[in-house]
Amino acid sequence: MQLWLIPILPLAGFLINGIFGRRFSKSLVNAVAIGSVVLSFLWVVKTLFGLGGLNDAHIEHYFTWIQSGLPDQPDFLQVNCDFMVDRLTAVFLLVITGVGSLIHIYATGYMAHEGGYYRFFAYLNLFMFFMLVLVMGASYLLLFVGWEGVGLCSYLLIGFYFDKQFATTAGMKAFIVNRIGDFGFALAMFYIFRMFGSLEFSKVLPQAASATEEKLAIIGLLLMVGACGKSAQIPLYTWLPDAMAGPTPVSALIHAATMVTAGVYMTARSNVIYYHAPGAAGIIAIIGIATAFFAATIGMAQNDIKKVFAYSTVSQLGYMFVGIGSGAYGAGVWHVVTHAFFKALLFLGAGSVIHALEGEQDMRHMGGLRKKIPITFWTMCCAWVAISGIPPFSGFFSKDAILAAAYEHSHPIYWIGVITAGITAFYVSRAMFMTFFGEPRGHHHPHESPPVMWIPLAILALLSLAGGFLFNVPEYLKEIFPPIHEAEQPWLVFISVAAGLIGIGLAYVIYLWKPGMADSLAATLKAPYQIIYNKYFIDEFYNATVVKPTVWLSRVVLWKGADAGLIDGAVNGIGARSRDAGSVLRLLQSGNIRSYAAWVLFGGVALMAAMALAGGLR
Amino acid sequence: MMTAVPISWFLTLSAILFALGVAGFLFRRNIITVFMSIELMLNAVNLSFVTFSYHHKNVAGHLFTFFVMVVAAAEAAVGLAIILTVFRNRGTLNVDEIDSMKN
């Protein structure tokens, strides 16, 4: 089926734009960048039609990538460059290339006045390539290649405005925090290889059922560490809010819709491992719900519109992990899909607002934009109702499926999830009210975005509204995931919907009905407000406990001590001692023949004396 | 009659000649004398070679001696040519003054 064409097309786009883009006109750069991704999307669609029902995984073998040891030895390692498409991959392929195409189109409008135009699209295409390798790779190692590749592109695109200090710092932060997660992932792969003798999904996962729970739990937890890094879960979530330093289309594509869901993909792919290690799955659920709640509360007090949606993304990723941890893999992946629609829409809408206000991101300087940029407003409203969980829009279905599974799994997790749903509705409503309603607070002259930007918004708006009942992902994925017990509690639906409505209502009261109430509430609840506003001081905490000691250790011990002291000391010391020895020995080189002769004699006598002492030649 | 003279006498003579050569090499400053001291040392070695060759009834010692003599003759030719050139350029035969390689 020529699966390799799917990732190769964006790679070709990257190479063409990356090498020749500087000399290209903008329209040519657009044609290459959008063309490659749209072609890739069309090829995905054609492939999936060609493969039909996809009841079994379709694997294409290309070549042997790594081979080590002898085939009948236990340490025989063979990693193939194989691509695999099953139903799970199919869902991700459609989301990545579909939403990716829309965001590429949008970005041509958003980035029109930015420098480094071709560079931006080259990176974006490279990201698409690696993301597609990530979901199509038929082994953990090939998945890891894509995993690291998207991390690299994330770093490059966060630091896209490389002349700004905060952007480069944010890029480094994302890269370094992800290293911690990747370390866990690498350890997991070592352990998988040691236990199952292979890294191919088709060999590892069928064997997993026969392994002991303890070993599977270790693998599951190590994989979870990797997922926590990439998908911004506690305690490694801090890079994602900072990653908003990148251009807004990057935030939408990489840091909301696709890359950050790689952790969900990887854990869903490893579902057999978690199914047989319920302890590890339970920890994932706990981390997921803690992240969801924690990030949602932070989102309530942020004033930067992109920061609000960044924390919202962290929170929604938490929901997906609750789904995974509760055994509802289908529901988790469903939320990936609907979240890709509505969160990409929220980010692109925020980008449209920022674009309209010429770079303003602070919601305190917005307000009253409803009339000025109506298309942006109405499309964002679609995302608003979707993320708030209002039926029958997309977020409602996936969130409800997750919460239903969570109810079966553990009641406290369910109730925290419901409260988080309310908070989610609250902060998104707050952002909408502060941005679009009330009196204009800025001194800008907003202008509606061009069609190239609002048409992708409109398509995403339709998907946000209808995506839930159009694409019943759990039903489609039922065959490949372990069965779950559906909660037969119809009243659960009403509770989560009520939580969403209460959140919206509260936001309406505080920010629209009684506009002074927000400030007076912040003044009365000064201590909690300050804690939330300052993101629980987690960054400061990490700075004090991890970053500062590491920097100190690097500077004082490793740099001044080991490098400058030990290594430089040894090298320079050898040099200096050689020079000292030379300054003494050069006295021998007098140029006086008779002294040389004396030395020769001395040497000869010494040699003979030594031989005599050693007892002659024999 | 040779049996009357013990081998140790020849070797002692050889050693004395060698020591004289060494002493001459070390303590004389005239380059010609130094050169002659080298010849003396070579011939002292030749004497031991011949002695041992005779003592062990082995012709190898003789062969070595011939080689040494040939090489010494060649060396004398080259060496004297160098000495001549040095004297022309420097106007001295004192080895202590021929130290331009220093520094």
Interface touch B99/A590, C-beta < 8 Å:
yes
Summarised one tens digit per residue, pLDDT across range A448-502 is 888 888 899 999 999 999 888 888 888 888 888 888 776 667 788 888 889 889 9
Contact indicator for A255, A246 with CB cutoff of 8 Å: yes
Asked if residue B67 is part of any domain, the answer here is: yes
Angle at A235 between CA A233 and CA A237, to 5 degrees: 50
Measured CA to CA, the distance from residue B48 to residue B61 in angstroms comes to 9
Alpha carbon A196 to its chain's center: 28
d(CA A571, nearest CA chain B) in Å: 28
Calpha distance A257→A251 (Å, rounded)? 8
Contact across the interface for A597 and B100, Cβ inside 8 Å: no
Contact B99 A597 (CB under 8 A): no
Say how many CB pairs under 8 Å bridge A and B.
27
Chain A residue whose CA is closest to B27: A594
Mean pLDDT, range A304-322, rounded to an integer: 92
Taking the Cβ of residue B38 and every Cβ of chain A, the question of whether any pair is shorter than 8 Å is answered with no
DSSP state of A356: H
Q: Do A593 and B100 touch (CB under 8 A)?
A: no
Please answer whether residues A102 and A344 qualify as being in contact, where contact means their C-beta atoms are separated by less than 8 angstroms. Answer: yes
| Cα–Cα distance, A18 to A117 (Å, whole number) | 11
Among B42, B44, B40, which Cα is nearest to B11's?
B44
Integer Cα distance of A274 and B100 in angstroms: 85
∠ CA A588-A592-A594, nearest 5°, is 100
What is the least distance, in Å, from the CA of B35 to any CA of chain A?
A: 12
Q: Which pLDDT does position A509 carry in this prediction?
A: 86
User: CB distance B26–A591 less than 8 Å?
Assistant: no
pLDDT in tens, A184-221: 999 999 999 988 888 999 888 888 888 888 899 999 99
pLDDT, tens digit, 9 for 90 and up, residues A49-77 = 888 878 888 898 998 888 888 888 878 88
Tell me phi and psi for residue A304, to 5 degrees.
Answer: -80, 125
- Residues in B touching A601 (Cβ below 8 Å): 22, 26
The share of chain A scoring above pLDDT 70, in percent, equals 99
Q: Which domain holds residue B72?
A: 29-91
Cβ–Cβ below 8 Å for A590 and B34: no
| Chain B residue with minimum CA distance to A588 | B102
Interior angle at CA A577, CA A574 and CA A583, nearest 5: 140
- What whole-number percentage of chain A has pLDDT above 90? 45
The string of pLDDT tens digits covering residues A225-264 is 999 999 999 888 889 988 888 899 999 998 888 899 999 9
* Residue written as token pair 């739990």: A217
- At residue A105, the pLDDT reads 93
DSSP single-letter state for residue A76? -
Q: pLDDT band for B1, please (50, 70, 90 cuts).
A: very low
Q: End-to-end alpha-carbon separation of chain A, Å? A: 81
Nearest of A364, A356, A349 to residue A442 by alpha carbon: A364
State the average pLDDT over residues A296-318: 91
Task: Give residue A218's pLDDT.
Answer: 92
* Cα–Cα nearest to A338, from A358, A317, A324, A360: A317
Q: From the candidates A583, A587, A588, A593, which should be mutated to test the interface with B, based on the most B CB atoms within 10 A?
A: A593
**Cα Rg of chain B, angstroms:** 17
Domain assignments of chain A as residue spans, ordered by start: 284-533, 539-613
Sign of CA dihedral A308, A389, A290, A93: negative
Minimal C-alpha gap between A608 and chain B (Å): 14
Residue B15, domain member (yes or no): no
A594 contacts B99? CB cut-off 8 A: no
Global ipTM: 0.77
Number of structural domains in chain B:
1
- What residues of A are in the B interface, CB distance below 8 Å? 589-594, 597-598, 601
Kindly report, residue by residue over A431-460, the tens digit of the pLDDT.
Answer: 998 888 888 877 778 888 888 888 999 999
Q: Let me know: does B42 contact B72? Beta carbons within 8 Å.
A: yes
**CA-based nearest residue to A263, from A301, A234, A241, A243:** A234
Non-local CB neighbours of B55 within 8 Å, separated by 6+ positions: B7
Amino acid at A365: H
Neighboring chain B residues of A591 at a CB cutoff of 8 Å? 99-103
CB-CB under 8 Å, A593 with B95: yes
Mean pLDDT of chain A: 89
Mean pLDDT of B6-28: 92
Tell me whether residue B71 is in a domain: yes
Contact A594 B101 (CB under 8 A): no
pLDDT tens readout for residues A509-559: 888 887 777 777 777 878 887 887 787 888 888 888 888 998 999 998 888
Q: pLDDT tens digit string along B36-87?
A: 999 999 999 999 999 999 888 888 999 999 999 999 999 999 999 999 998 9
Check CB contact under 8 Å for A592 and B103: no
Q: Taking the CA of residue A272 as centre, how many other CA atoms within 13 Å lie in the half-sphere pointing to its CB?
A: 14
Within A255-388, where are the H helices?
262-269, 271-275, 278-299, 305-325, 329-356, 374-387
Output the CA–CA distances (angstroms, integers) from residue A480 to A44, A208, A384, in the order listed: 20, 15, 32
Q: Report the CATH number that the domain containing residue B74 is assigned in CATH.
A: 1.10.287.3510
Number of helices followed by number of strands (H, E) in chain A:
27, 2
pTM given for the model? 0.79
User: Nearest-CA residue of chain A relative to B22?
Assistant: A601
Residue A56, Cβ neighbours under 10 Å: how many?
A: 11
Kindly tell me if the per-residue pLDDT of A127 is higher than 90.
yes
pLDDT attached to residue A378: 92
The pLDDT of residue B72 is: 92
| CA distance linking residue A572 with residue B87, whole number of Å | 47
